[in-house]
Amino acid sequence: MLELAVQGAQMFSVLLLAPLLIGFVRKVKARLVRRQGPSVIQPYRDLVRLMRKEVVLADNASWLFRVTPYLIFAATWVAAALVPTFASGLQFSWAADLIVIVALLGSARFFQALAGMDVGTSFGGIGASREVMIASLAEPAMLLIVFSLALVAGATQLSTVAAFMGSPEVGLRVSLGMSLIALVMVAIAENARIPVDNPATHLELTMVHEAMILEYSGRHLAMIELASFLKLLLYMSLISCVFLPWGLASAGAGPRSLAIGAAAYLAKLAVLAILLGVFETAVAKMRVFRVPDFLGAALMLALLGTLLLFVSRSL
């Protein structure tokens, strides 16, 4: 029964935390350039404002355009609900392993790219075509990272992986280090952060993610924005449950360790958000055709990490 409660709490806590995380990252970035910046709860206000506004739909938008925001949101939410945040014993963790979670995000992206092409403007097309180019390199890199994790932990089940990573037998491994670097690079690309894409840009030709959703407005845009917030939270949860597993409450733990897990999770998110803000402030956005080099490096690192594990189980 407790497991079900943990699963439910997790499902709604990711939904509630995701805008706060974005607000916090924005605040960190603003403070770093000595601006006051909007309040950390500004993303919630934005979402409410968008929901209240009317939807302006392009003349030739089809049903797919109207269904896609809900599909993207649902796929991302399901994926985010299956990544352990503060406790590893999730009720439904057996329904989907890490490969499925990656593929669920792939489904969301598939529909997002299609929606970008639905209206038939050049910006939607440019966004969709660049997005699939980035995905075609980021997805294999992500799968190879999953392979390395699976080989170390002997499972692709995320709860098992997280529990194993928390146990003392892991130790320092070269391949895990490579996987971590590759995972961070993939996470940056997948979440359309600097240097791959700029979440705050308003110059159309440099946009990828924003170009695809240029036609969206009102409640549809709110769903898509919330999904992209969730995606950032998902990647941060993934990094923290696999590579920073301290404090994660194990399966069947009591309320005390659950509370410790929740506190530790919030602390980890805060640290990762500050790191992201510092990193984004420190680097410049790269040209679109430098992105394949960046992701190619992630792919090679991930492949190297996997190869090392295939060759020797102890590295």
Partner 1 sequence: MISTVALLLCGPAALLATAILAAAVSRHTAATRLVYGAAFAISAALIAIVASHLAGNSGEASATLPLGLPWTGARFRLDGLSAFFLIVVNLGGAVTSLYALGYGRHESAPHRVLPFYPAFLAGMNLVVLANDAFSFLLSWEFMSLASWALVMAHHRDEANRRAGTIYLVMASFGTMALLLAFGLLAGPAGTYAFDAMRMAHPGPLAAGAVLVLMLLGAGSKAGLVPLHAWLPLAHPAAPSHVSALMSAVMTKVAIYGFIRVVFDLLGEPAWWSGVAVLLIGGVTAVLGILHALMEKDLKRLLAYSTIENIGVIFASLGLALAFKANAMPSAAALALTAALFHVLNHSFFKSLLFFGAGAVLTSTGERDMEKLGGLIHRLPVTSFVFLVGCVSISALPPFNGFASEWLVFQAILRSPELPQWGLKVIVPAVGGMLALAAALAAACFVKAFGITFLGRARSAAVERAHEVDRWSLAAMVVLAAFCLLAGILPGFVIDGLSPVTLSLIGDRMPVQMAEPWLSIVPIAESRSSYNGLLVFAFIAISASLAAFFIHRFASHALRRGIAWGCGFADAVPAAQYTAVSFAQPIRRVFGSFAFRARETVDMPAPGSLEPARLKVDMHDLAWEIFYEPIAGAIDFATERLNHLQFLTIRRYLTLVFLYLVILLLVLALWP
* 2 lines the binding site for partner 1 (CB under 8 A): no
Cβ nearer to partner 1, comparing 72 with 244: 72
Residues composing the chain: 315
Q: First vs last Cα of the chain: how many Å apart?
A: 40
* 154 lines the binding site for partner 1 (CB under 8 A): yes
* 122 lines the binding site for partner 1 (CB under 8 A): yes
Evaluated on CA atoms 176, 179, 181, 184, the torsion sign reads: negative
Cβ nearer to partner 1, comparing 24 with 294: 294
* 224 lines the binding site for partner 1 (CB under 8 A): no
Gap between the Cα atoms of 241 and 152, Å rounded:
15
Query: Minimum CB separation from partner 1 for residue 263, in Å?
Result: 28
Among 26, 85, 90, 139, binds partner 1 (CB under 8 A): 139
What are the distances in angstroms from CA 280 to CA 8, 37, 192? 33, 16, 11
Q: Which stretch binds partner 1 (CB under 8 A): 33-41, 110-118, 188-196, 255-263?
A: 110-118
Among 9, 40, 117, 274, binds partner 1 (CB under 8 A): 117
Gap between the Cα atoms of 272 and 191, Å rounded:
14
Q: Is the Cβ–Cβ distance between 180 and 243 less than 8 Å?
A: yes
* 58 lines the binding site for partner 1 (CB under 8 A): yes
* 103 lines the binding site for partner 1 (CB under 8 A): yes
* 147 lines the binding site for partner 1 (CB under 8 A): yes
What are the distances in angstroms from CA 133 to CA 182, 197, 219, 288? 18, 13, 28, 10
Among 10, 85, 88, 160, binds partner 1 (CB under 8 A): 160
- Residue 80 DSSP SS3: helix
Query: Minimum CB separation from partner 1 for residue 64, in Å?
Result: 6
Structure tokens belonging to residue 33 = 């350039």
Gap between the Cα atoms of 83 and 69, Å rounded:
22
Q: Which stretch binds partner 1 (CB under 8 A): 33-41, 133-141, 176-184, 276-284?
A: 133-141
Among 7, 13, 42, 157, binds partner 1 (CB under 8 A): 157
Gap between the Cα atoms of 55 and 252, Å rounded:
46
Gap between the Cα atoms of 206 and 282, Å rounded:
19
* 10 lines the binding site for partner 1 (CB under 8 A): no
Applying the rule CB under 8 A, the residues between 249 and 288 that interact with partner 1 are 288
Q: Is the Cβ–Cβ distance between 68 and 115 less than 8 Å?
A: yes
The CA dihedral of 125, 126, 127, 132, to the nearest 10 degrees, is 90
Q: DSSP character for 248?
A: -
* 64 lines the binding site for partner 1 (CB under 8 A): yes
Applying the rule CB under 8 A, the residues between 284 and 313 that interact with partner 1 are 288-289, 292, 299, 303, 306-307, 309-311, 313
Q: Residue 274's CB: how many other CB atoms inside 10 A?
A: 16
* 229 lines the binding site for partner 1 (CB under 8 A): no
Query: Minimum CB separation from partner 1 for residue 314, in Å?
Result: 12
Q: Which stretch binds partner 1 (CB under 8 A): 22-30, 55-63, 230-238, 268-276?
A: 55-63
Among 25, 71, 165, 189, binds partner 1 (CB under 8 A): 71
Q: Which stretch binds partner 1 (CB under 8 A): 30-38, 90-98, 231-239, 278-286?
A: 90-98
Among 25, 104, 196, 232, binds partner 1 (CB under 8 A): 104
The CA dihedral of 187, 191, 197, 200, to the nearest 10 degrees, is -140
Structure tokens belonging to residue 137 = 């390199």
